[in-house]
A and B are shown apart, each in its own frame.
Chain A
Amino acid sequence: MKFWRVYLLGLRMGMRDWTFFWTWRSWLGGWMLRLVCSILLWSLMGKMMGSTETLRYLLIGNAVTAGIGTFIVASCCWDRMEGTYSLLVAAPASLVPLFLGRPSIWAFGWVASALLSTALVSFGFDLALPWKGLAVLPLLIVIVSVSTFFCTAFVGTMVAATAPQARNIANNWLLILFSAICGINVPTAFWPKWVQIVATALPITHGLEAIRIVLSGGGMMEALPQVGLELAVGAAWLIVILCTLDRMTDRARIKGTIDFA
Chain B
Amino acid sequence: MSAVRTEGLGRVYVTAERTTQALSDVTLSFAEGEVSGLLGPNGAGKTTLVKILSTVLLPTAGRAFVLGHDVVGETAKVRPLIGIVFGGDRGLHWQLTARETLEYWAALYDVPVREVSRRSVSLLERVGLAAWADTRIENYSRGMKQRLHLARGLISDARVLFLDEPTIGMDPLAARDFRGLVKELKAEGRTILLTTHDMAEAEAVCDRVALIDHGRVLAIETPASLAQMVSAYERIDYDHGDPGLAVALRQLPGIAAVTLQDGGAHRITMTDGAAIQSILQFLVGAGVTSLRTSRPSLEEVYVHIIGDRGLKV
What count of chain A residues pass the 8 Å CB interface test?
30
A90 at the interface (CB under 8 A from B): yes
Contact of A88 among B11, B92, B108 (CB under 8 A): B108
Interfacial residues of chain A within 224-261, with CB under 8 A of chain B in the complex:
250, 253-254, 256, 258, 260-261
A75 CA / B94 CA spacing, docked (Å) = 14
A175 CA to B287 CA, complexed, in Å: 86
In the assembled complex, how far is the CB of residue B69 from the closest CB belonging to chain A, in whole angstroms? 13
Is B84 interfacial (CB-CB < 8 Å)?
yes
Contact of B109 among A19, A92, A98 (CB under 8 A): A92
B residues 151-191 touching A (CB-CB < 8 Å): 164
B51 touches A86 (CB 8 A): yes
Q: Which of A6, A84, A98, A253 contacts B57 (CB 8 A)?
A: A253
A93 touches which one: B56, B57, B107 (CB < 8 A)? B107
Q: Which chain A residues border B92 with CB–CB below 8 Å?
A: 82-84
Q: Is the CB of A256 within 8 A of B107?
A: no
In the complex, how many angstroms separate the beta carbon of A90 from the nearest chain B beta carbon? 5
Partner of A256, one of B13, B86, B91, B100: B13
- Whether A12 is near chain B, meaning CB under 8 Å from some CB there, is yes
Q: How far is the CB of B155 from chain A (nearest CB, A)?
A: 11
Cα(A19)–Cα(B97), bound, Å:
13
Q: Which of B84-120 contact A (CB under 8 A)?
A: 84, 86-88, 90-96, 100, 103-105, 107-110, 113
The reply to whether the CB of B82 lies closer than 8 angstroms to some CB of chain A is yes
B91 adjacent to A91 (CB under 8 Å): no
Given that A5-B113, A91-B105, A93-B109 are known contacts, is A260 also in contact with B86, CB under 8 Å in the complex? yes
Interface positions of A from 135 to 175, Cβ below 8 Å from B: none
Question: At the interface, is chain A mostly helix, strand, loop or mixed?
Answer: helix
Size bin of chain B's contact surface: 35 or more
- B58 sits at the interface (CB 8 A): yes
Which among B50, B94, B103, B110 has the highest number of chain A CB atoms within 10 Å? B110
Interface check B76, CB cutoff 8 A: yes
Contact A12 B93 (CB under 8 A): no
Closest CB of chain A to B51's CB: distance in Å? 6
87-135 of chain A: CB within 8 A of chain B = 87-93, 98
Residue of B nearest to A251 (CB): B58
A-B contacts, 24 listed (Cβ < 8 Å): A5-B113, A6-B108, A9-B104, A9-B107, A13-B96, A82-B93, A83-B86, A83-B90, A84-B92, A90-B54, A90-B82, A91-B79, A92-B79, A92-B80, A92-B109, A93-B108, A250-B58, A253-B55, A254-B58, A256-B11, A258-B56, A260-B51, A261-B87, A261-B164
Complex contacts, B79 vs chain A, CB 8 Å: 90-92
Q: Taking the complex as formed, is A16 at the interface, i.e. its CB lies under 8 A from any CB of chain B?
A: yes
Chain A residues with CB under 8 Å of B82's CB are: 90
Q: In the complex, what distance in Å separates the CA atom of A104 from the CA atom of B84? A: 27
Among A2, A254, A260, contact of B50 (Cβ-Cβ < 8 Å): A260
Main secondary structure, interface of B, reads mixed
Residues of B within 8 A of A82 (CB): 90-94
* Interface, chain B (partner A; CB < 8 A): 11, 13, 47, 50-51, 54-58, 76, 79-80, 82, 84, 86-88, 90-96, 100, 103-105, 107-110, 113, 164
Residue among B54, B82, B86, B91 with most chain A CB within 10 A: B91
Cβ contact within 8 Å between B93 and A13 = yes
Choose among A5, A83, A92 the residue with the greatest number of B CB atoms under 10 Å from its CB: A92
Q: Which residues of A contact B (CB under 8 A)?
A: 2, 5-6, 9-10, 12-13, 16-17, 19-20, 82-84, 86-93, 98, 250, 253-254, 256, 258, 260-261
A191 to chain B, nearest CB (A): 36
Q: A9-B104, A256-B57 are in contact. Are A90 and B84 (CB under 8 A)?
A: yes
Check A91–B109 contact: CB distance below 8 A: yes
- Counting from the closest, the 5 A-B pairs by CB-CB distance are A83-B90, A261-B86, A16-B95, A91-B108, A93-B108
Q: A86-B51, A88-B108, A92-B108 are in contact. Are A258 and B93 (CB under 8 A)?
A: no
Closest partner residue, chain B, to A4 (CB atom): B107
- Verify B55–A90 contact, CB threshold 8 A: yes
Which residues of the partner chain B approach A254 to less than 8 Å between Cβ atoms? 58
Chain A residues contacting B57 (CB-CB under 8 Å) are: 253, 256, 258
B16 to A: closest C-beta gap in Å: 12
| A260 touching B96 in the complex, CB below 8 Å, given contacts A9-B107, A87-B91, A254-B58 | no
- Contacts A256-B11, A261-B87 aside, 12 further interface pairs with beta carbons under 8 A come to A13-B100, A82-B90, A82-B94, A84-B91, A91-B105, A91-B109, A92-B110, A253-B57, A256-B13, A260-B50, A260-B86, A261-B164
Closest partner residue, chain B, to A10 (CB atom): B104
A5 to B100, CA, bound (A): 13
Beta-carbon contact of A13 and B95 below 8 Å: yes
List the B side residues contacting A5 at CB < 8 Å. Answer: 107, 113
